[in-house]
Amino acid sequence: MLERAVVLTLVTLVAFTTVGSRSARLMAQGGRPQAHPSTQEPSILVTPATMERWETELSNWGRWGSDDQRGTLNLITPEKTRAATRLVEDGVTVTLAHFVNEEEAIDSQTFAPTKHWMTAVDPRTGAVSFALDAMSYSLHDGQLAHMDALCHYATERDGQQVIFNGYPQNLDAEGCKDLAIDRMGPGYVTRAILVDMPLLRGVDWLEPSTPIYVSDLEEWERFAGVTVASGDVLLVRAGRWAKREQEGPWSYGQTGAGLHASVLPWLKERGVAVLVGDAVNDVQPSGVQGFNRPLHTMTQVFLGLPLVDNGYLEDVAREAAARKRWEFMVSWQITNVPGGTASPFNAIATF
């Protein structure tokens, strides 16, 4: 029986403000967004049977031992890290992070409210007596660049929910017992390769629901003179943040441009260690029957490939284009959230 991944938390987005694509028009009319027609072409089509076959063919279960908690992060070897440092030429750094705010918008305040408050407040007068504050937010907020822990998605095996490497998805009020973010290492330094699809296409951003295929990734490699290799962080820019700046918030979680599921064997073959998108990585709708986010399903549960959603790729795209150099060193620290299902992606690109 087909084993389908189960998302730990779901959110229903009910408004849509952008226009200009078929999906956008349907949403504006109260209809359901439709997958891009090209996702149904026979040479591209990914079916439930394909997904089931890939569960075995693309699996990394046991590759780094039965007790492994890091998945493809193991591909970032000391040699890979040393090689990445040699890419630094100018000493210019830019952030790949995007943080939350208290804006009430369709792409924020998801899963939990964002709150920031001063903590040293006189209860009688309300005056702030000292510069101390606190904050709460969802680790999967729609505006937060965050790395998913490998316990975030699960699949059903023999009536039990299991996660990468065959661990039971053991959850309680304190979080995940295995494959939580605090089990995935302190942080990493490696080579990053930026795929800037709007630049390649000569547009400011990809239209909603635009799929990115292997042919697009390889066309970019030829254009940029780079080849994605084992241990790399792959950054895929679709232009989500540029679109938001110009047109305002929109339901990118339902109609975002992104990678099509057919890229999964390519990601495994190339040995991508971390996949970073500026939306949810999966093109939405996915075009795969029965799977809302097939890329999340396969990468996290079977490949053990951590995903970063909502990465901020505007500054790094500008710096890379100015140098005509789309490979650079990237470094990030993993916030040690006990049992956490994600960590803010506090990454720095250094040219």
**What is 153-188 written as a DSSP string?**
EEEEETTEEE-GGG-B--EETTEESSS-GGGS-SEE
pTM: 0.91
Note the pLDDT of residue 31: 72
- CA-nearest of 60, 23, 57, 2 to 271 is 60
User: How far apart are the two ends of the chain, measured CA to CA in Å?
Assistant: 48
Q: State residue 110's pLDDT score.
A: 86
CA-closest candidate to residue 317, choices 150, 219, 204: 204
For every one of its 351 residues, what pLDDT tens digit does the chain have, with 9 covering 90 and above? 333 333 333 322 222 222 233 333 334 344 789 999 999 999 999 999 999 999 999 999 999 999 999 999 999 999 999 999 999 999 999 999 999 999 999 999 989 999 999 999 999 999 999 999 999 999 999 999 999 999 999 999 999 999 999 999 999 999 999 999 999 999 999 999 999 999 999 999 999 999 999 999 999 999 999 999 999 999 999 999 999 999 999 999 999 999 999 999 999 999 999 999 999 999 999 999 999 999 999 999 999 999 999 999 999 999 999 999 999 999 999 999 999 999 999 999 999
63 to each of 59, 60, 92, 165, 266, how far by Cα in Å? 9, 5, 37, 9, 18
The closest of 72, 297, 104 to 190, measured between CA atoms, is: 72
Q: Are the C-beta atoms of 167 and 178 separated by less than 8 Å?
A: yes
Enter the DSSP assignment of 293: -
| All domains of the chain in start order, with CATH | 5-102+139-350 (3.50.30)
Alpha helices in the chain (DSSP H): 22-28, 48-57, 78-85, 197-201, 214-224, 240-247, 252-255, 264-270, 294-298, 314-323
Report the C-alpha gap between 247 and 314 in whole angstroms.
Answer: 16
- Provide the pLDDT for residue 154: 96
CB neighbour list of residue 72: distance below 8 Å, 6 or more residues apart: 60, 271, 272, 273, 274, 303, 304, 305, 306
- At residue 55, the pLDDT reads 97
pLDDT value at position 29? 40
With tokens 């907020």, the residue in question is: 141
Residues 342, 181: contact at Cβ < 8 Å? yes
Radius of gyration for the alpha carbons in the chain, expressed in angstroms and rounded: 20
C-alpha distances out from residue 189 to 136, 225, 344, Å: 28, 22, 16
